[in-house]
Amino acid sequence: MKNKKSTVLFIVLAVIVFIAAIVSSVAAANEGKQYKAAKAAYSLYLQDTNPITGAVSAKADSAQKQSEEHREKLIKFFAVSLLLYFALIVMLALLYMTGTKKPEADESKKE
């Protein structure tokens, strides 16, 4: 970061990435709760199956499809959340490295 304007823009970008990571984490937590509820509903509806024929009710089938959809969304949101947090760590490391290089450059110019 050569000047303060680009440093400020970089910090603003880091804050935006941080907010996006928080939003994706909250969305992943919500999908996790919905996945858990759909899985419980599937288990409940599965108990209503006919043991003689082994036929699964339409409710159980629907609950299973819902749980699979919520599971896929949970995995996607969790992966996005991890990637955003990793990007934030890299951005903060770069910001720290550029901040520590400036005093060294100033000392070499003074000599």
Question: Using one digit for the tens of pLDDT, what is the confidence trace for 26-59?
Answer: 999 999 999 999 999 988 888 877 666 667 778 8
- Is 109 among the domain residues? no
Closest CA to 58 of 69, 49, 71: 49
- Is 108 among the domain residues? no
How many domains would you assign to the chain? 1
Question: Using one digit for the tens of pLDDT, what is the confidence trace for 52-89?
Answer: 666 777 888 888 999 999 999 999 999 999 999 999 99
Its pTM stands at 0.73
Residue range of the domain that includes 87: 4-101
- Is 70 among the domain residues? yes
Closest CA to 74 of 45, 38, 20: 38
Alpha carbons within 13 angstroms on the beta-carbon side of residue 58 total 0
